[in-house]
Amino acid sequence: MKQSMYHLLLSILLISFSVLPTGCRSVDAISNEIVICLNGEPQTTDPQLACDTPSVRVVNAIFEGLVRLDEKGNPVPGAAESWEVSADKLTYTFYIREDAKWWNGADVTAHHFRDGWLRAIEPLLEYHEVSPMRHLLFCIEGALEYAQGKGTKEDVAILAVNEKTLSVKLKNPTPYFLELISNSVFMPLYTEFYEKQHINSSNITTYGQEAKTIMGNGPFKISSWDHYQEIVLEKNYSYWNFENIRLEKVNFKIITDNWTAFAAFKAGEIDVVDITNEIQKEELKNGKAFLGSYYSGHTLYISINNEDDILKNRNIRKALACSLDRKAIVMRNLIEF
| Residues 6+ positions from 99 with CB-CB distance below 8 Å | 240
CA–CA distance, 320 with 337 (Å, rounded to integer): 25
The structure's pTM equals 0.82
CA–CA distance, 153 with 227 (Å, rounded to integer): 36
Low-confidence ranges of the chain (pLDDT < 70): 1-31, 294-298, 333-337
Q: Is 108 helix (H, G, I), strand (E, B) or coil?
A: coil
| Residues 6+ positions from 131 with CB-CB distance below 8 Å | 48, 49, 119, 120, 121, 185
**b/e sequence 154-166, b meaning 16+ C-beta within 10 Å:** eebbbbbeeebeb
One domain for residues 10 and 138: yes
**Helices and strands, number each (H, E), in the chain:** 10, 13
CA–CA distance, 66 with 240 (Å, rounded to integer): 13
One domain for residues 119 and 251: yes
**Which CATH number belongs to the domain containing residue 94 in this structure?**
3.40.190.10
One domain for residues 248 and 313: no
Q: For the chain, how many structural domains are there in total?
A: 2
One domain for residues 246 and 315: no
Task: Check residue 286 and give its pLDDT.
Answer: 76
Task: Check residue 28 and give its pLDDT.
Answer: 55
Q: Which amino acid is at 220?
A: F
Of the candidates 79, 51, 54, 287, the one whose C-alpha atom is nearest the C-alpha of residue 184 is 51
Q: Give the DSSP letter string of 87-100.
A: TTS-EEEEEE-TT-
Q: Is 253 helix (H, G, I), strand (E, B) or coil?
A: strand
One domain for residues 202 and 311: no
Plot region of 255 (φ>0 → left; ψ -120 to 50 → alpha; else → beta): beta
One domain for residues 33 and 49: yes
Domain that holds residue 309: 301-337
Burial of 307 from C-beta contacts in 10 A (0-12 / 13-18 / 19+): exposed
One domain for residues 230 and 337: no
One domain for residues 289 and 336: no
